[in-house]
Chain A
Amino acid sequence: MWVMLQTLNDEVPKYRDQISSPGLTVFPKPVTALEYSFSVSKRESYEGYIEDLKKFLKPYTAEAQKNLRNCQDGALFEQKGPVYEACQFPLALLEACSGESDPEFGYSKGHPCILVKMNRIIGLKPQGKPAIECTGNSKGENTTTLPVYPSEGNIDLKYFPYYGKKLHASYLQPLVAVQFNYTASSTPKEVTVECKIVGSKNLKNYDDRDKFLGRVAFKITMRA
């Protein structure tokens, strides 16, 4: 056992074959299942979500990012070490969902923000121009594409590859926010949202068994 532990690399796991393609996860962190339910008029019904988002975005504040590098857009940021730098992810990219202009992330207005991110995988180098695309489906209505920030849900290549917790301690993941523009009405609004990665050949967005590989589906129930 001890021998086995000695053979381990501290920085990079020996194999990454079982996570060749990243999953998608959403924030605020769901409590029991992938369902968000709140009432626009009742602050306490969404306060938890706001807190969670704020907590999640803490490393993204300008203050926290000031030591990070402003990398060149549109290209992989490969490094040789021994010191590995992380690229800035300005919160402004998330526009209305950045929490800066609207500290309530749209929940109080009935335009809630949900953050979507790709799982970290060491050494992953996306090909093409990866982006997150979200669609919303409400009962009796057509499926519509939802607005995402940064525009078109782009995930810049400069955030890749990731070099692991130990070497790349300050690493910030790129985020995409999706916002709902449904107007609040008296009847509860139920929307099923599906987000997936598009635009990259090596990032899968469909797997029979893994419902979260390159995609994520969740439900928002909003009452007036």
Chain B
Amino acid sequence: MGQKTPQIYSVELNGAKDMKQTDKGDDKDKYRGLWSTCLELRKNHHKEHVTKEIDLDDHKLSNKELENKYHTNIVTGLSSTQAAELLARDGPNALSPPQETPEIIKFLKQMVGGFSILLWVGAILCWIAYGIQFSNDKSSSLDNVYLGTVLALVVILTGIFAYYQEAKSTNIMASFSKMIPQQALVIRDSEKKIIPAEQLVVGDIVEIKGGDQIPADIRLLFAQGCKVDNSSLTGESEPQPRSCEFTHDNPLETKNIGFYSTTCLEVSISPVGTATGMVINTGDRTIIGHIASLASGVGNEKTPIATEIEHFVHIVAGVAISIGVLFFIIAVSMKYRVLDSIIFLIGIIVANVPEGLLATVTVTLSLTAKRMAKKNCLVKNLEAVETLGSTSIICSDKTGTLTQNRMTVAHLWFDNQIFMADTSEDHFKQTFDQSSGTWASLSKIITLCNRAEFRPGQERVPIMKRVVVGDASETALLKFSEVVLGDVMEIRKRNHKVAEIPFNSTNKFQLSIHKTDDPTDKRFLMVMKGAPEKILEKCSTIMVNGQEQPLDQSTAEAFYTAYMELGGLGERVLGFCHLYLSADEFPETYSFDVDAMNFPMSNLCFVGLLSMIDPPRSTVPDAITKCRSAGIKVIMVTGDHPITAKAIAKSVGIISANSETVEDIAKRLNIAVEQVNKQDAKAVVVTGMELKDMSEDQLDEVLTSYPEIVFARTSPQQKLIIVEGCQRQDAVVAVTGDGVNDSPALKKADIGIAMGIAGSDAAKNAADMVLLDDNFASIVTGVEEGRLIFDNLKKTIAYTLTKNIAELCPFLIYIIVGVPLPLGTITILFIDLGTDIVPSIALAYEKAESDIMNRKPRHKKKDRLVNKPLAVYSYLHIGLMQSLGAFLVYFTVYAQEGFRPSTLINLRVEWEKDFVNNLEDSYGQEWTRYQRKYLEWTGYTAFFIGIMIQQIADLIIRKTRKNSIFQQGLFRNKVIWVGIASQIIIALILSYGLGSITALNFTMLRPQYWFVAVPHAFLIWVYDEVRKLFIRLYPGSWWDKNMYY
């Protein structure tokens, strides 16, 4: 796997040499994968300064040697002073949080990102212009200083806003990931103390009981019947036994080491109920600490929406700069003064840059993030909202994500018949035939031959949600029998247990002997369950319809058929048998000895089979179907057995009902696997072993040629390979994960999705999104939201870009034709940051036009957020229409005040001369400079109102891209109307409320001027309806290709 890891890591990894040495003789893939990743990182690393090597020899040392090494005492522990010194030396026992970008850097990034640079340039040009003016004429007006300051303020305020939004969404995450402080029971100064786990130091002696999280890497000193769950570290879902013996050279394999943050599942109650260990590594020096830091080294890919926005910024900035420079040159060659030309340049930049847009995008994304959080998708990084929408491949875990993460009884076999049990999450109504006498016996065995118990005090909790002490299978059986039979504890009480042999892996059975609850029956009942073939061996009879029958060839065959069938479903099958011990041989006082086995172990009566599976969540098959129609490939990546994996994949639809793997075809046609035409197979199950031997190209081929893929028996490290493979296909890959070992894959994925319940903190840190309910279906709702937001962002951007032309034209006309300036720079800012803000956010609330889950995910490189049709249609169609409308209002105002359009042409120079105070209008009246200025502001206001009125029409047409507005419904999205109201109210306030403030350049406008642009607004609407109509009528035509954005 090493060579497939590109140089994306920059993490310093210490102690890799040690790992390499201890790696020898390691035969388990998962560890090799892990360490070779580490080694590869090491090789790729340039600066090698090893600060402190991990000491991984501790598992080989004796207790005495350990005591010496850590200057501690196993009985008395460290002294408080020693501990304090060590704590000061090593720091607290906690994983240092991932390297955060300093807040100030984040803030500065907001200040210079996007359009900010352009605006800064504008502001600085303003100040320079004033500087030049001032040096020529001490009394020059402060207009440019104001403008520069306003521009700077705009940048700073939008920067602060974006920063605040970003910080807010990060905070949600921070509060979420904050854990309850962990406690540890430690022996110090010969006393047992409970201290926060953070204060542990190496050499501390800690005691651990079942259910505790291991507070640091510890070397076990005393442990009996101790089992740990290492799944977050290695991906092994089976509990691992732990003892104090040194069993393996590899520290990860040896049984006497417990790892930080793994869970101790159980410790034998006798003799002390706790395990004792010595802390050998704390904090970042623990194994988990190293892996966690690995993840932070994986480069975070730029999110698709970030790329899109960058692309968009480039387009707009390109337009702004090229028009700006072009007109600068035109202006200079038209003999304008350079200073004036600079001011034109500023105006053009300001007109072109949609100042409010990036803030709007941020708000829109965070609105969606909030909506997703309600649907159990917590988004850490705002931009990930959209990433989810463009996802084309989801690599999903099986356990917990696709399945319910609990064993459940799925099938029963008795009376030569297979019965199905209900496996859904809540409805636990069993509908199979319970009248047979065989069921009565079977149910008794299930109930009695079971050590699992409910934790007390849960009478009110639904059965399926109760906490059980016991392993997964026994829990499943306990809950099953509780549901079917009622109070299991009561039944067990009535059938007093006299002897018991617990399950162990050599016997592969479990047995118990009970007094029966029938007072007339003095016989003991022996019940047994275990691996079906082992159980069958011990039986000579079989119960059919409540009657014992001799076990003959045909019944044995029936048994095997059923066993294979259930096994083929990926289910864990158990066999059940019983025997009534004759009262003569085993009187009531008989003393059973489980070691001597003084009871019969053969000629038992076989009763039935029962199979269990971790069933799929009931919402998952639907979600998978949705994914499929949405063009998203779902790949299952699991550590489970291929058969189980395939069975679950089939039951949730990852492998659809009618598709076959190569093996299936071979079996059906009865030919060798090699003879099957691979093209016929739609599905494939790849195991970790096969994956290990695959080259990059082979993996690519698998990924491209099969639509339905299951990876089974994979290690968490192989997930990274799979993710990279998918990314080579230009796919946007979402990956789910929960273990610490998943974190590099989560980081590498375009969107890493961590499980909120089962996920480790490292996984949550590495992920972009956290699924609060661990449910795959939630991802699909997230995808839907993500797609919707992409569509709606298009609308927002189209809406915002449109008026840029209406803002730009005044400058161009002003320069070329020489009319008095129709629209002031500050007025432009009032449109961009005033009237347009709420409406553009309102578009985020727009419902989808058609079923967005029925189309393919967008292609990262082809389906851009801002494409040519969008730019052309917004700029050149609607934008120009809007400019015309606004100019109409402007000319109307001037004409009705005395300046006809013909007079205005080339009036600019005289108009702007400060000492010309008798400028004649079309009617012979004479105007002072200030009177003209006031008229100019009235013109600004008029132009502004003209744009605003037409932006209302623009807003309405942007509700849909293809459908008629009437199909979409004018009133479905109420927020749009809030937006329209806000536009009008802000304009009213600006014109009538603030009309008297000189610096703002607004005047009171006659009410009738508000309606001058209304016909144009209607025209825009009609024009767009026609466009949409043609798109609907002629899909795929030239029109569709060029007018649909």
Chain B residues, Cβ within 8 Å of A18: 897, 931, 934-935, 938
Total interface residues on A, CB under 8 Å, equals: 39
- B917 contact from A12, A119, A120, A164, Cβ within 8 A: A119
Residues of B within 8 A of A12 (CB): 923
> Which residues from chain A contact B917 at a C-beta distance below 8 Å?
23-25, 119, 212, 216
Check B930 against A4 for contact (C-beta < 8 Å): no
Which of A1, A34, A120 meets B925, CB within 8 Å? A120
0 or 1 for each of B892-906: is its CB under 8 Å from A? (1 = yes): 100111101100000
Return A35 CB to nearest CB of chain B, in Å.
Answer: 9
Q: Which among A5, A13, A33, A166 is the interface contact of B915 at CB below 8 angstroms? A: A33
Q: Report A157-194 CB contacts with B as 1/0, cut-off 8 Å.
A: 00000101110100100000000000000000000000
B856-894: which have CB < 8 Å to A? 887-888, 891-892
Asked if B918 lies at the interface with its beta carbon under 8 angstroms from chain A, I say: yes
Give min CB distance, B140 to chain A, whole Å.
13
Question: Which stretch from A45-53, A92-100, A131-139, A203-211 is at the chain B interface?
Answer: A203-211
Docked Cα-Cα span, A34 to B1012, in Å, equals: 40
Given A5-B895, A5-B901, A119-B918, also A164-B923 (CB < 8 A):
yes
Q: Return the contact of B896 from the options A14, A19, A164, A168 (Cβ within 8 A).
A: A14
With CB as the reference atom, state the residue of chain B lying closest to A209: B930
A11 at the A/B interface (Cβ < 8 Å)?
yes
- Closest beta carbon of chain A to B138's beta carbon, Å: 13
B925 touches A13 (CB 8 A): yes
Query: A32 contacts the other chain (Cβ, under 8 Å)?
Result: yes
Task: Report the number of A-B residue pairs with Cβ-Cβ less than 8 Å.
Answer: 104
Known: A1-B888, A8-B896. A32 touches B925 (CB 8 A): no
CB atoms of B900 and A22 under 8 A apart: no
Is B308 part of the binding interface, using a Cβ–Cβ cutoff of 8 Å? no
A197 on the B face (CB < 8 A): no
The answer on a CB contact under 8 Å between B924 and A165 is yes
Instruction: Give the shortest distance, in Å, between B829 (CB) and chain A (any CB).
Output: 22
Q: Does A210 contact B915, Cβ atoms closer than 8 Å? A: no
B311 at the interface (CB under 8 A from A): no
Q: What is the CB-to-nearest-CB distance from A194 to chain B, in angstroms, rounded to a whole number?
A: 14
The answer to whether A30 and B915 have CB atoms under 8 Å apart is yes
Known: A15-B897, A211-B930. A164 touches B918 (CB 8 A): no
Asked if A57 is at the interface of the complex by the 8 Å CB criterion, the answer is no
Report chain B residues within 8 Å CB of A8. Answer: 895-896, 900
Q: Does B928 contact A (CB under 8 A)?
A: yes
Q: Chain B: interface residue count, which band?
A: 20 to 34
Determine if A122 is an interface residue (Cβ-Cβ < 8 Å). Answer: yes
* Distance A1 CA – B1016 CA, assembled complex (angstroms): 11
Interface residues of A in 206-224 (CB under 8 A from B): 207, 209-213, 216
Known: A18-B934, A23-B918. A119 touches B928 (CB 8 A): yes
Contact A122 B924 (CB under 8 A): yes
Query: In the assembled complex, which residues on chain A have CB atoms less than 8 Å from the CB atom of B998?
Result: 209
Residues from 700 to 739 in B contacting A, C-beta threshold 8 Å: none
A68 CB-CB contact with B under 8 Å: no
Q: Is the CB of B928 within 8 A of A210?
A: yes
Neighbouring B residues of A119 by C-beta, 8 Å: 917-918, 925-928
**CB of A16 within 8 A of chain B?**
yes
Kindly name the residue among B895, B923, B924, B1012 whose own CB sees the greatest number of chain A CB atoms within 10 A.
B923
State whether the Cβ of B236 lies closer than 8 Å to any Cβ in chain A.
no
How far, in angstroms, from A213 to B934 measured CA to CA in the complex? 13
With an 8 A cutoff between CB atoms, is B406 at the interface?
no
Which residues of chain A are within 8 angstroms of B928 by Cβ–Cβ distance? 23, 119, 210, 212-213
- Complex-state Cα separation, A207 to B929, whole angstroms: 13
A11 touching B923, Cβ below 8 Å: yes
In the complex, A210→B888 CA distance in Å? 28
Q: Which residues of B contact A207 (CB under 8 A)?
A: 930
Complex alpha-carbon distance, A16 and B998, angstroms: 21
Q: Is A121 an interface residue (CB 8 A)?
A: yes
Are A19 and B925 CB-contacts (below 8 A) given A4-B891, A5-B895? yes
Which residues of chain A are near B920, meaning CB under 8 Å? 120
From B891, B915, B934, B1012, residue with most partner A Cβ within 10 Å: B915
A4→B927 CA distance, assembly (Å):
23
Distance of B83 from chain A, by nearest CB (Å): 77
CA distance in complex: A195, B920 (Å): 21
Q: Which residue from B887, B930, B934, B935 sits with its C-beta under 8 Å from A212? A: B930
A64→B920 CA distance, assembly (Å):
22
On chain B, the residues within 8 Å of A168 by CB distance are 924
CA distance A171 to B920 in the complex (A): 14
- Looking at the assembled complex, report how far the CB atom of B825 sits from the nearest CB atom of chain A, in whole angstroms: 20
Min distance, Cβ B842 to any Cβ of chain A, angstroms? 32
> B827: shortest Cβ distance to chain A, in Å?
18
B921 contacts partner chain A, Cβ-Cβ < 8 Å: yes
Given contacts A4-B888, A33-B915, A119-B918, whether A165 and B923 have CB atoms under 8 Å apart is yes
- Nearest CB in chain A to that of B893: its residue: A15
A181 CB to nearest chain B CB (Å): 26
B916 CB to nearest A CB, Å: 8
Can you name 24 A-B pairs with beta carbons within 8 Å? Answer: A1-B887, A4-B895, A8-B896, A13-B896, A13-B921, A14-B895, A14-B896, A15-B896, A15-B897, A15-B1006, A18-B935, A22-B926, A23-B927, A119-B928, A120-B924, A120-B925, A121-B925, A165-B922, A165-B924, A168-B924, A207-B930, A209-B998, A212-B930, A213-B931
A residues bordering B, Cβ < 8 Å? 1, 4-5, 8, 11-19, 22-25, 30, 32-34, 117, 119-122, 162, 164-166, 168, 171, 207, 209-213, 216
The 8 closest A-B pairs by CB, nearest first: A165-B924, A23-B928, A210-B930, A119-B926, A13-B898, A14-B896, A25-B918, A212-B917
Give chain B's interface residues, CB within 8 Å of chain A: 887-888, 891-892, 895-898, 900-901, 914-915, 917-918, 920-931, 934-935, 938, 998, 1006, 1012
